Structure 1
Amino acid sequence: MMLFYRKSILIFWILGINFLIIIAGCFPKHESSISEKNLKLLKGKYDISTLNYFYETVFHEDFNSEKRDNISKWNSNPTIEIVGSQSSEDIAYVKQAIEQVNKINLPIKLSLADTNDSASISVFFGDLKSVCNFLKLDSAFTNDIDNSNHFGLAKSINYDGVIEQAFIGIYFTEKELTHSTRFKVVLEEIVQSLGVVGDSYNYPSSLFFENYNPAKCLTTLDIDVLSLLYEPAISANYTRQLFETNFFDKLYTINTDQKIKNLLEKYPQVSLDDVEKCFTSGVLLKHPKEIQIYISGSIQKEDSLTIERAVLSLNKTSPNLNIKFAGLPDIEPAYGIVFVFQKLDKQNVSLRRTIETTTGKNCMFQKLIKSKIVISFNSNEKDEKLRQRSIIDGLYFSLMQIPQAQTRTNELFTIKKNGIDFSPRYANLFKLIYSDEFIDGFKLSDFKKINFSMDK
């Protein structure tokens, strides 16, 4: 998590002159464009996933409804001091993080500050109240923090996009965090203090994943985003407007309507009315590209086999997704798709299925974070086909937010000896919705305008 402050805020606080804050905040000194040669080199060096993830994590701060107008980065080597109630393990985590970041070979290098030096990054460890005081967080923000979970936050101060100082506060609970997880909290905040200020719901394995996942790490994609930020061609205070102009052909959020219209022309067999049914409360919500599936409860061997077959079919249908069957979790995860099988002898109906969804709204794009599918059955439940259908239906409708009353028996899929075949209607709809052009949070009202224009 990252908070960002321009130095103009400090000028306002010290001098109380509104005119100065307008000048310092609105007219950066060295906004510079990228030459045609360098732009071509950057587009050849960084793939489309990196460019879109850069846009999402560099031009947005968590818990902020607006996008950032400019990037910020260091132009000198940051030195780090460790303060507060740090343990020997905490010091080791910081040293390990410094070593891992320096292996990326950025133009800057991190190091621990000498005792006589004035550090440019201060990392504070302590209880939650002390951390909040160190970061000077207001009470409204502090009251929303869950003290049962770990907490990390980085704040930076910059002038014209050049970061001059950063403050990191970290609080660990005593209960559940392993050494590996604690290190990743430290690593994430240090990396974010370098300018990758936002989190995302898109990649659960990413260090910047905005939810608890003990398996997340500094991925190749994360490294590419950080490397792009520190490309010499990307100047400090480089604007979002220029980035959108330079990379408009690679960014799905730019000229989205036309890109979706072009995509729909490739899917003439898909009903636009079906597409409209995929919107929830007026917006499009999808799961991340990486999806883990977990199961728990009164499980039969055939349940796992059915899920595996359905996953294989869905992955073949949409090459844009990577769905994995992760099996039994130690504790119920806070992300992915979770199947819970319950045997309830007093249940009147033989089988019942419910789907609960959790949506994330703190990042640039809204996202479905978790779907929990509860399948309950009584002791008289003997219909294996009914159980299989409930599992496959549940998986599909947790991924696609369509009213479930829309399908009838064998309309969604058929089970064959060699696997599960989803019907062309729902397979094509699934592939279309999980295309990159259909961005998370896309509004139904905008889609209806596209639909209307195509009917002309």
Structure 2
Amino acid sequence: MHSKLVTLAAIATTALPLSVVLPILPRPATLHAQTLYRTDPSVAIDYFLEVALGSEFGNNDPQIKKWVEPLRIKVHGSPTPEDRRILRTVMQELNALTNIDWRFDSTNPNVDIYFVPESEFHQYEPNYVPVSYGFFWTWWKNYEISQARILISTTEINQRERAHIIREELTQSLGLMRDSYRFSDSIFFQGWTDVTEYSELDKAVISLLYRPEVRPGMSKEELLDVLRTSSR
């Protein structure tokens, strides 16, 4: 999910109506993921636990959720040619990082992506929480994700911002459903950003989720046991 609240300047928020004005509170200083990950690779496990357990909305169940079948994507609405190019690029990168097959499938999709105005989001996903320019909703059984719906706004944001949102929403619909204020150059950064590439830390986190030994339904304690054992 990606949203922004505009007052005198663009500041970050999380799914708040534009009519709501909150005091600007100091946030902890953010770090650059690239720098920290190079000096301490173990930070990937901590960051993985932060973004992989629970979700921003709906059932905030702190167990691992992930796909175990290929993702079959159908595109709806009015994407630009650049939107389509970015979508193909992100799918190729995620295919390499997850070893899960990503492909376009207009007849039997399990991922529907809508490029529509934000004002129409509720028509396509009743669970939509305004105001967000990107939003996803997933369904799972026994913690195995079986379906996703992704909404990308075609209004009020520019092409670079939409490129970021395409990457973020696809990535989070994999099962990495939480945002974080820790790393400003991460695709999972909670604040408003237009990052359009994965950091090395992002890549490590995505790959961790799709290791064979990381199974749907695992708790934090089970994950720590598996990840610490495999990293020895």
* TM-score higher than 0.5: yes
Alignment partner, residue 78 of structure 2: 85
Deviation at 1:216, TM superposition (A): 5.6
Q: Counterparts of 1:190 and 1:240 in 2: how far apart (Å)?
A: 24
Equivalent of residue 133 in structure 1, options 114, 123, 126: 123
Once the two structures are aligned, what percentage of the paired residues are identical? 23
Alignment partner, residue 54 of structure 2: 60
Q: What SS does structure 2 have at the residue aligned with 1:191? A: helix
Answer yes or no: is 1:154 the counterpart of 2:117.
Answer: no
Q: Identify which of structures 1 and 2 has the higher relative contact order when contacts are C-alpha pairs closer than 8 Å and 6+ apart.
A: 2
Answer yes or no: is 1:220 the counterpart of 2:205.
Answer: no
One-letter amino acid matched to 2:99: P
Q: Counterparts of 1:234 and 1:202 in 2: how far apart (Å)?
A: 24
For residues 286-314 of structure 1, what are the alpha-carbon distances to aligned partners after superposition, in whole Å with 9 as ceiling and x for unaligned? xxxxxxxxxxxxxxxxxxxxxxxxxxxxx
Q: What SS does structure 2 have at the residue aligned with 1:103? A: helix
Deviation at 1:208, TM superposition (A): 0.7
Number of residue pairs matched by the alignment: 192
* 1:60–1:198 Cα contact (<8 Å) kept: yes
Q: Counterparts of 1:164 and 1:63 in 2: how far apart (Å)?
A: 18
Deviation at 1:238, TM superposition (A): 1.4
* 2:54–2:63 Cα contact (<8 Å) kept: no
CA gap of 1:48–1:210, structure 2 versus 1, over 3 A, is same
Answer yes or no: is 1:109 the counterpart of 2:91.
Answer: no
**Structure 1 vs Structure 2 CA RMSD:** 2.6
For residues 351-376 of structure 1, what are the alpha-carbon distances to aligned partners after superposition, in whole Å with 9 as ceiling and x for unaligned? xxxxxxxxxxxxxxxxxxxxxxxxxx
Alignment partner, residue 17 of structure 2: none
Q: Give the ranges of 4+ consecutive aligned residues of structure 1 lying more than 6 Å apart after TM superposition.
A: none
Q: Counterparts of 1:108 and 1:100 in 2: how far apart (Å)?
A: 11
Deviation at 1:159, TM superposition (A): 0.8
* 2:214–2:223 Cα contact (<8 Å) kept: no
Give the structure-1-normalised TM-score: 0.39
Alignment partner, residue 200 of structure 1: 180
Q: Which runs of 5+ in 2 are unaligned?
A: 3-39
* 2:136–2:149 Cα contact (<8 Å) kept: yes
* 1:206–1:216 Cα contact (<8 Å) kept: no
* 1:60–1:67 Cα contact (<8 Å) kept: yes
* 2:187–2:195 Cα contact (<8 Å) kept: no
One-letter amino acid matched to 2:213: A
For residues 125-171 of structure 1, what are the alpha-carbon distances to aligned partners after superposition, in whole Å with 9 as ceiling and x for unaligned? 11113222211126xx33xx1xxxx6111111111111111100111
Deviation at 1:84, TM superposition (A): 2.2
Which of the two has greater helix per residue?
A: 1
Q: How does 1:191-270 map to 2 (within 5 A)?
A: 191-215=171-195, 217-243=197-223
Q: Counterparts of 2:213 and 2:50 in 1: how far apart (Å)?
A: 19
* 2:172–2:178 Cα contact (<8 Å) kept: yes
Alignment partner, residue 50 of structure 1: 44
